A and B are shown apart, each in its own frame.
Chain A
């Protein structure tokens, strides 16, 4: 089945630690996105990539980093510079030409120990 796999589903971070959230897709989609979800605040764009080897900062990129070395993979690293990392992280791909037709993974809940 085609889809997006986000792993792990739950992740715990110790203070000062960097952690990486995985996002893998087999949909052959060019564009990929990372959103952060906090209760009552909707989704905010962290980083996005329209094509392999290219990515751009979103609205809340500080304390995060990404890479896009392969079409299938768009990992997100939450660095120690991100002081409030507890949130639900969602990865998405764009399904077509229309910018709004996104297909989402099932998310990773990151919590701080």
Chain B
């Protein structure tokens, strides 16, 4: 079955860039996703990338996709304290039309 892996924790200073990494296993995934979860809340979709793209930029967010290595990253420029949250990458389970999530990376932004 699919398995999505992320490191559990990242700490950065306010104003620095954050890079959150993810590896996935299903090479047939057509889309890959990044979700954000604030404390005690549900997840919200941040951004996604189509599998035929290498990069997608959306304001402060940059997604990089390396299909050969099955590696996905999310870069947050000029990280703010409001970016402190858990970030999940996810790939599509095409058979079930559901998402398989990584374990989440807790981003802590220090003033």
Instruction: Provide the bound-state CA to CA distance between A92 and B98, in Å.
Output: 10
Chain B residues with CB under 8 A of A26: none
Q: Contact: A98 with B31, CB < 8 Å?
A: yes
Q: Chain B 34-51, CB within 8 Å of chain A: the 1/0 string?
A: 000000111111001000
The verdict on B88 contacting chain A, using a C-beta distance below 8 Å, is yes
Size band of the interface chain B makes with A? 20 to 34
> Please, which residues of chain A bring their CB within 8 A of the CB of B24?
none
Stretch at the interface among A36-44, A64-72, A76-84: A36-44
Enumerate A1-28 residues with CB–CB distance to B below 8 Å: 4
A111 in contact (CB, < 8 A) = no
Indicate which residue in A43, A94, A107 contacts B88 across the interface (CB closer than 8 Å): A43
On whether the beta carbons of B48 and A50 are closer than 8 Å, the reply is no
A49 and B36 alpha carbons, distance in the complex (Å): 24
Residues of chain A within 8 A of B32, CB atoms compared = 100
Say whether B98 contacts A90, CB under 8 Å. no
Nearest chain-B residue to A50 (Cβ)?
A: B97
- A48: B residues at CB distance < 8 A: 96-98
Is B11 at the interface (CB under 8 A from chain A)?
Answer: no
Check A33 against B98 for contact (C-beta < 8 Å). yes
A91 to chain B, nearest CB (A): 8
